[in-house]
Structure 1
Amino acid sequence: MQADALLTQDELDFIQNMQHSPQLNLADPMSGLLVNGDHRLQQLLTRLVANEQVTLQAQFNNQQISFPLQLVEDEFHALHLQLGSPEIYEDGPMLRPWRLSLEEPAALLDSHGAGSGLWVREISFKGVLVQVRDLPEAPARFDLHFAPEGIPAIGLHGVLRRRIGPDLAAYDLSRSPAQEIERLREYILQAHRQAHPELHAQVAG
């Protein structure tokens, strides 16, 4: 190493490792949005996204997927349009969020990881249908954790909407923390990809 070198060999090795890190080279193909065409169209979209809620919608059979558009700033302070996590809806008499039906109900857990007596049967990013076990009735609200299949626990705040028979109840999740709903949305998106791979292949293509 020359005496006037700017970087030591260890520093050079570190930079080379960072450049070849697979984590840095993997980009989510769904996240970036390239707008070709007139620069005035790009400017209009950018202004709209900065000031209003703008979404990109796709229809497939009886489902509607709505992607929010977001402005993100890169390391050079340039603004880019990016797709956020989608909201998935089912068409019908009413448009309602797509619900993931669990093959095996998953227990909602308390802060110590113990079962609460509430078991998730169906869940969307807006609400959850639970089965009530070993409780006299469904509680009016809950603050519990959803952790199926060993995923990191997602904290949910549920408010009772209605009791359905002796052992089922529907809860509204809209008062849950925003970052937890975003994690729930990602979990449901992954489940939707597995349930409908043909749809996501078309959207990605």
Structure 2
Amino acid sequence: MPEKTVLTSAELAYINQLTSGPQTESGEARGGFQLDGGERANGLLLQLAAKANLTLDAELDDYCMSFPLQLTRDELQTIRLQLAPPTIYERGPVLRAWRLHLDEPLPLLSDNGDETALSVHELSPNGLLVDAGPQKAPKHLHVRLALPGETPFMIDARRVRVAEDGLAAYEVEQPHGKDAERIRSYLYEQHQRLHPELQPELPVDMLVDTPSHS
């Protein structure tokens, strides 16, 4: 099986140049790449996108980033390729999703929006490190999470272990598409804040939202 193709930092900087065009008059996000590989090549990509998850993988010194690729086709049958917010992986003995240590814990909310005794101290695309307060950490969570500046969305998770400091680690069931993107986008922004040396190569505005399909 061939090795997976990855992009270097220099290649990512070139992609940034290609995606740094102005926004449209209507305020829409940048449109990504226009594909013009011919009818057969474009058709093959559309078939693959319909049956598999396509990604663009970038390898940096201490991190790997996997950008989901999304294909859209407009009324003129023009195909565009867009980059969604990436999953960030941290290098080490085991490659694992990068976890954000929150300076200010995020409270978990009940269905009616009230704060619970639970708060999130670490966040990853598929995991939470939760302080349950005086109560025992529940085996399952069905709560709402509000990222800073965002509306709350539902989180379902199961407890996988309890740490020595009393914090409990939870594995998050795969959230719905847009909610998963919101988590990845927030983590990506925070990763850039903590690692400004990467910002010239990986600006947040190179990512575009995918139009919703009816």
What amino acid does structure 1 have at the position aligned with 2:185? E
* Residue number in structure 1 paired with 2:78: 78
Does structure 2 conserve the Cα–Cα contact (< 8 Å) formed by 1:144 and 1:156?
yes
* Residue number in structure 1 paired with 2:200: 201
What amino acid does structure 2 have at the position aligned with 1:69? L
Q: Where does structure 1 differ by over 6 angstroms across 4 or more consecutive aligned residues?
A: none
| Residue-by-residue CA offset, 1:125-175 (whole Å, 9 max, x unaligned) | 11010112031x100111112224342113211111111125210001124
| Structure 2 residues without counterparts, runs of 5 or longer | 1-22, 207-214
Give the share of equivalent positions with the same residue, in percent.
35
Aligned residues: 181
Per-residue deviation at 1:115?
2.2
* Residue number in structure 2 paired with 1:119: 119
Q: 1:51 to 1:159 in 2, by over 3 A?
A: same
* Residue number in structure 1 paired with 2:152: 153
Q: TM-score, normalised by structure 1?
A: 0.75
Matches within 5 A, 1:42-61: 45-61=45-61
Larger helix fraction of residues? 1
The 1-side partners of 2:33 and 2:95 are apart by 26
What amino acid does structure 1 have at the position aligned with 2:156? H
* Residue number in structure 1 paired with 2:26: 24
What amino acid does structure 2 have at the position aligned with 1:27? A
Does structure 2 conserve the Cα–Cα contact (< 8 Å) formed by 1:154 and 1:183?
no
Does structure 2 conserve the Cα–Cα contact (< 8 Å) formed by 1:143 and 1:157?
yes
* Residue number in structure 1 paired with 2:65: 65
Q: TM-score, normalised by structure 2?
A: 0.72
Per-residue deviation at 1:43?
5.9
The 2-side partners of 1:147 and 1:104 are apart by 13
Structure 1 stretch displaced more, 49-58 or 82-91? 49-58
| Structure 1 residues without counterparts, runs of 5 or longer | 1-20
What amino acid does structure 2 have at the position aligned with 1:54? L
